[in-house]
Structure 1
Amino acid sequence: MSGALSGLKILDFSGLLPGPFASMYFADLGAEVIHIESPTRPDLVRLFAPYVFGQSAAYNYLNRNKQSIALDLKQAESIQLIYDKIKDFDIVLEQFRPGVMQRLGLDYATLAKRHPGLIYCSITGYGQTGDYQHRAGHDINYIALSGIAGHSGRKVNGPPAQGIQIADIAGGSMHAMIAILAAVIERQSSGLGQHIDISMTDCVASLNSMAAAASLAGVPQQVEGELLNGGSFYDYYATRDGRYLSIGSLEPQFQQGLAQALDLPIIQEKGGSLDATDREQVKQAITARIIQQDLAYWQTHFANLDLCVESVLSLDEALHSELAQQRQWLVDVPIAPHSQETVKQMACPIKFSRSKMRYHYIGQALGQGQWPTSK
């Protein structure tokens, strides 16, 4: 079985998280990825602790299955080498601020003259146009400007600091992957590539989905004021031992079951009410009941009840849970091709009936890789 994207070749100039996460998935799916790094200013993820086999664990993961090529893009011979090689590639992925690749002579317009079928994806914080295009930013800034932080969190302490990079991955990486694969399909009929402009802020703003639909219909979204952001009993509840239980029993049959399981008739009586006072009474009743017992008690209590109630796990607990084992969240990746030594990493979660994922080796040492053979 071959990878679903076997045959695609990607030249990846990106660093840190958004671009590398996308190109890692492409590589897992069988694409051939060449990761270009500066020999003097390599990808900063290489510096992130902890280290495994002498390299950053994060770099080992984000750059698995990729060939690392060290090139100084400020040198004319490096640019000429890219010109010579570009026809061997289907896709270019880059993550510099707007204008940088143009100054280097590696922008879409320049490369498309040499390779009209090239698909060229640029991932930036604020896109290639508009007043924000040259501003610096990080995940927290993109989420702030998207409106997501404005209707998330608690009234008493404001927006939450997330444990993951939502805009970088859900905004940048995932939307870039969708766009690139759509362009690959379109090229089959047109024979032409195109430039893709991915703004992480644009893309993460689109994740507002239902909240934005309501807001545009004239119902502004309020912190802890909506069905799914803490304004109903759909929420997290503290247990006696300082852990948390997630309760999402919104539908009538689940509300009825939860009311019975907790012996709280008020859930069935007022759980679906639109009145803020009723909603608050339901939450207070559930809060008072859940905190009477430890998490282990509630895990046993709800184990055989299909009510949308689950424990809040630590990341370590989640990665080693029965669910993780049954769904194969983790995979052992060789530290080098054909090596018997392996590193445990998160697997690609996509599952096909025929196509096979590949996990050939972890991220390479700087400049260790080789160019692919010409088409």
Structure 2
Amino acid sequence: MTAISAFKDALTGLTVLDLTRLLPGAFCTQMLADLGAEVIKVEEPGRGDYNREFPPLNVKESGSFLLLNRNKKSITVNLKTEEGKTVLRRLAARADILVEGFRPGVMDRLGMGYETLAAENPRLIYCAISGFGQDGPYAKTPGHDLNYMALAGALQLFGKAGEGPIVPGLSIADQGGGSLMAAFGILAAVLARGQTGKGQFVDVSMTDGLVAWLPYHAADYFFAGVEPKGGERRFLGQAPCYNVFRCADGRHITLGLIEETFWNRFCDLVGLSDLKEAQWPEGAEAEAQMRRVADLMATKTCDEWMGLLGPADLPVAPVNTMREAFDDPQLKHREMLLEMEHPVEGRIPQLGFPIKFSDTPGRLRTPPPLLGEHNDEVLRSLGYTADDIADMRRKSAI
């Protein structure tokens, strides 16, 4: 990524207003910013994005904020003041995209909903990310990632047989159902605007996004009449061929032996040839097979198993710690860990852009912004004078 900065950025010329807080909107707009869009982060004066104060802190800023807000500008705007509302309307009048994550109805109550802003800028693409969407009985119900996972039928997929669901370690609803769906929807709307000349409203429900992730497990319910639960179905921990095992040194290894040829090769290699005809056992047979494989995997260290199974061209991998993951030669080769300088935080790590383009790659250009760092720059671009800006500061509008 750092060696190909001479290429043109894919989204150069697009201006994005980011009114979101926390994870879903921030990850979405950072991806757009990495691809060259000008992202102006509109924050509350004095406090800013709540994620700025979320532990752990580096020097003054939250570590997660520093990993979610590079390549953006920050402007503080008090949307409860008339001056602040005027600033936002002027920004929206020249923007291509606006992304917000408030509860449905909040922007309308402020007098800055889609219909109002689109009347002044018909080309505006307005993306609202919410838990349940802009309509329906739950539209204004509060929630977070775990709640959306539960409601969508996805949480029951995590856990061990008979023990109930667990808290997933990743924010699947926020990023998978929210950030990625929003980025996809926004870029689809940009393409549509190229044909129609008009923007549109993009309604992203994190719960809807999660439901779209369920085809494999919804198939169990629709076509087999079975509720898929953690530890009780294929791909959910029921069978040893697709599972996690503890090794002799306390580390864990994953087996992804879905194809019959892989399972048979594994069984022959480790002396379990009698299991080849029962790759996907159920019930008591599954429990007995699991004990046999678990007992076997506990006889060697993780490195010993990798040394035996890896060269056999089997889909296996160690369960890495963060340190091990970021030291992994594959992640290093793909530049998924980078660094950049920050004026306050010093040299900070950054997660790499996940999609590789031959001509228009994602790039690290500027560090995460200080709160309100770009107030003067952005306001001057809107035609405000130095006196105007000073007056807004006196009125706590910025």
Residues 1-375 of structure 1 mapped to structure 2, 5 A cutoff: 1-223=7-229, 224-233=231-240, 234-272=242-280, 275-335=282-342, 342-369=347-374, 370-371=377-378, 373=381
Structure 1 SS opposite 2:115: helix
Distance 1:51 1:151 in 2: 33
How big is each residue's C-alpha offset from its partner over 1:48-83, in whole Å with a ceiling of 9 and x where there is no partner?
Answer: 223334321211121111000001000001111222
Structure 1 SS opposite 2:160: coil
How big is each residue's C-alpha offset from its partner over 1:112-169, in whole Å with a ceiling of 9 and x where there is no partner?
Answer: 0000111000001111111111111111111011101123211343212122111000
Amino acid at match of 1:318: A
1:103 deviation in Å?
0.9
Structure 2 SS opposite 1:62: coil
Alignment check: 8 A CA contact 1:258 1:267 kept: no
Check 1:155–1:277 CA distance in 2 against 1; reply closer, same or farther (3 A cut). closer
Corresponding residue of 2:3: none
TM-score by length of 1: 0.94
Alignment check: 8 A CA contact 1:266 1:282 kept: no
Distance 1:218 1:257 in 2: 30
Percent identity over the alignment? Answer: 35
Alignment check: 8 A CA contact 1:61 1:362 kept: no
Gaps of 5+ in 2: 1-6, 383-398
Distance 1:266 1:89 in 2: 65
TM-score by length of 2: 0.89
Alignment check: 8 A CA contact 2:245 2:294 kept: yes
Q: Which is further off, 140-149 or 223-232? A: 223-232
Structure 2 SS opposite 1:217: helix
Distance 2:364 2:121 in 1: 30
Distance 1:163 1:316 in 2: 17
Alignment check: 8 A CA contact 2:60 2:345 kept: no
Q: Which is further off, 344-353 or 221-230? A: 221-230
1:303 deviation in Å?
3.0
Q: Aligned-residue CA RMSD in angstroms?
A: 1.9
1:262 deviation in Å?
1.3
Amino acid at match of 1:247: L
Point out 4+ residue stretches in structure 1 off by more than 6 angstroms.
none
Q: Which is further off, 24-33 or 352-361? A: 352-361
How big is each residue's C-alpha offset from its partner over 1:341-366, in whole Å with a ceiling of 9 and x where there is no partner?
Answer: 53111111110111132212221111
